[in-house]
Structure 1
Amino acid sequence: MNISPSSPEPGDIVRTPEFEVPAHLTPRVCALGGGHGLYGSLSALKHVTTDLTAVVTVADDGGSSGRLRQEFGVVPPGDLRMALSALCDDSNWGRTWRDVMQHRFTSDAPDAEGALNQHALGNLLIVTLWQLLGNTVAGLDWAGALLHARGRVLPMSCTPLVIEAQSRTLNAQGVETLEHIVGQVNVAQATEVSHVTLTPADAEACPEAVQSILDADWVILGPGSWYTSVLPHLLLPGIREALLKTSAQICLVMNLELEDKETMGLSAAEHLQILRNYAPEFRLNAVIADSDGMGEPTELEEIAAQMGAEVSWVSVRSSQDRNVHDALRLGAAYQDLFRRHI
């Protein structure tokens, strides 16, 4: 089964409230990430291309996703749900279904453990489709069709993954030690993270995700939690190989804030260096960064150039929440980037 958004005919105009783009100029875009970072990127990209695929991390082990993963042995649906929600159209239908997918039950019962409490309805819908169809990709395609999603959502792997890492900590005697951390939630809360790995190490990448990277004109990586949403795409062998093999141009979107607990104290340039440490041959063509909060610009520009990229300094912050990308500003940055590289 292959349900995907229909493509416009050459010469058609793709109309949105914000942009008007000739269909023959809209690139095939594959966006990689997870969580709120990917949600923001997709919310922008859906306005500037009609051929959009999201490839989503599947290592979450907390909250509703973690409970469903543990109980049913499925890949965690939460980040996949958020990606689908981001791709909902800006119409009454789209906004309603976005809110339905994101709705989280809150129970007043004194002991709500094991009930619907804090489950997101979208997670339950996705797991329902998986159980009925027996196919992870088909289930997501059906969910996308129901939502009239403006793009396709795929898992990076159909195998639930576990993120492991080491964290530098001080013991009671003040001696620095390396602590082994298991699980995405724990890694995200750790400090001075290093030696990040995925288990199982030989997990197969989702074939459709691999093909979407190979077929893309542009691959967008980030923004997102560096060790748990961005780096995993370079740790899974099949996705990493596709990123090294694709002829697509690759753009990295920097986070707005560099003070995530897992990367506390690291500069913007050191964020890029992390990617080089794990994949020295990984190349970039462009980096989008908001100059506010990025520190010394020259350092980022130098390491970006070493990876083959030019940095675009663009104001992409939301005026309402400085920690959130503004969809229209980021969309305009993407559109400008795509047009400059036609």
Structure 2
Amino acid sequence: MARETAQAAVALGGGHGLAATLSALRRLNDDLTIDDLTAVVTVADNGGSSGRLRGEFGVLPPGDLRMALAALCGDDEWGRTWAEVVQHRFAGQGELNGHVVGNLLIVGLWELMGGDHVRGLDWVGRLLGAHGRVLPMATTPMDITARVRGADPSDPGALTVVRGQVEVATTAGQIESVALVPEDPQACAEAVEAVLAAEWVVLGPGSWFSSVIPHLMVPGLRRALAETPGRLVVVLNLEAQAGETTGFGPEEHLAALFEHAPDLNVHAVLVDAGSLAGEREALEKAVADRGARLVVEDIAVRGEPRHDPDRLAAAFRRIVDGA
């Protein structure tokens, strides 16, 4: 049942984590609980089709933007068909091998529109009938770097720096902090406006150091997240990610977030009940210390380490209705 007054929501992240959040929030958009939905997407990917297009054309990597657009497609025949089309990856042995249709479509529109990233994405969204808007977190090409301890087996205590989203996501060591190169990429103005105007802002889940935390490293976006009157909801991952967050539980994920943004004002932290494994008391204290409330729900696909869009939507709806 829809609220009497619908609200605007912004979801930040990248990859499969952001896609899960958007799939859930789209359901709230469909029932008019949320009437204005915007995705703000990490754009630092340097691998696969996105990395190749970024290197050849000097554009923002389109892959995570494409996934967000696909997640916002409707459940009707038009939406399902276009979601499949833009996610289709070419096989074969030629130069198209590994490229994704949606990546090529996005880059093609960027070229036609003189490099206007936002306008190009808006046109793709119109074609797909997307139930929301997709924006890059920044308009400056960038790389992620990470300070990693223990990447060199011969010197487990040494700190090294790795560069590139793929390299950060697959590092063999323990990530201590991440940064962006350049340090002050230009935030997407429309993304900043959306965050400042939203009643709800959702951060996570996703690759914690390479998709979620980078939003906090863009100065203009970081200021908007600190200043927005909207309520910020953090969605924690279901499990640690090999390499990037090996050994992390829910409390460690939250601690890493606040180490990079100690001034972040969080309204609620959403965690899957099955991922707590006896850590609930410690997590409750960590969340309460930040003046937030812990929301524990069954939000995973049964027997699988991924979020269930319907359950996640139900959890979001309870958070919004209970505010």
Range with bigger deviation, 24-33 or 221-230: 24-33
Q: Hey, what does 1:66 align to over in structure 2?
A: 51
Structure 2 residues not aligned, in runs of 5+: 29-33
SS at match of 1:262: coil
Partner of 2:66: 81
Match of 1:41 in 2: 21
- Aligned residue in 2 for 1:145: 126
Aligned to 2:5: 25
- Which one of 170, 178, 188 corresponds to residue 196 of structure 1? 178
Give the AA of the match of 1:143. V
Structure 1 residue 89: Cα displacement = 0.3
Among candidates 313, 321, 326, match of residue 296 of structure 2: 313
1:243 aligned to 2:228?
Answer: no
Alignment match, 2:31: none
**Cα distance in 2, alignment partners of residues 326 and 246 from structure 1:** 28
Letter in 2 for 1:221: L
Secondary structure, aligned partner of 2:274: coil
Q: Which amino acid aligns with 1:103?
A: H
Q: Tell me if structure 1 keeps the 8 A contact 2:90–2:96.
A: yes
In structure 1, the residue matched to 2:309 is 327
1:31-180 equivalences under 5 Å are 31-48=11-28, 49-107=34-92, 109=93, 112=94, 115-134=95-114, 135-169=116-150, 171=152, 173-180=154-161
Q: Secondary structure at the match of 1:261?
A: coil
The residue aligned with 1:290 is: 272
Per the alignment, residue 13 of structure 1 pairs with: none
Shift of 1:117: 0.4
CA contact (8 A) 1:258 1:293 kept: no
Instruction: Give the aligned residue type for 2:15.
Output: G
Deviation of residue 259 (structure 1)? 4.0
Aligned residue type for 2:180: L
1:36 counterpart letter in structure 2: H
Is structure 2 residue 242 aligned with structure 1 residue 256?
no
Q: How far off its partner does 1:174 sit?
A: 4.8
SS, match of residue 233 in structure 2: strand
Instruction: Tell me how far apart the structure 1 counterparts of residues 17 and 177 of structure 2 sit (CA, whole Å).
Output: 23
Q: 1:26: how far off? A: 2.5
CA distance in 1, matches of 2:151, 2:163: 18
Question: Tell me, which stretches of 5 or more residues in structure 1 are unaligned?
Answer: 1-19
Residues 110 and 120 of structure 2 are in contact (CA less than 8 Å); yes or no, is this contact kept in structure 1?
Answer: yes
**Scaled by the length of structure 1, what TM-score is found?**
0.89
**In 2, are the aligned partners of 1:257 and 1:294 still within 8 Å (CA)?**
no
User: In 1, are the aligned partners of 2:44 and 2:141 still within 8 Å (CA)?
Assistant: yes
User: What's the % identity of the aligned pairs?
Assistant: 49
C-alpha change, 1:71 and 1:247, in structure 2 (3 Å) is same
TM-score, normalised relative to structure 2: 0.95
Q: Is contact 1:258-1:266 (8 Å) kept?
A: yes
Which secondary structure does the structure 1 equivalent of 2:144 belong to? strand
SS at match of 2:150: strand
Query: What is the SS of the residue equivalent to 1:231?
Result: helix
Deviation track 1:261-281 (CA, whole Å, cap 9, x = no partner) reads 211112211211111111111
Query: Does residue 285 of structure 2 align to residue 302 of structure 1?
Result: yes
Please list the CA deviations of residues 235-278 of structure 1 after superposition, one character each: whole Å capped at 9, or x if unmatched: 11011000000000000001111244211112211211111111
Structure 1 residues 323 and 162, CA gap change in structure 2 (3 angstroms)? same
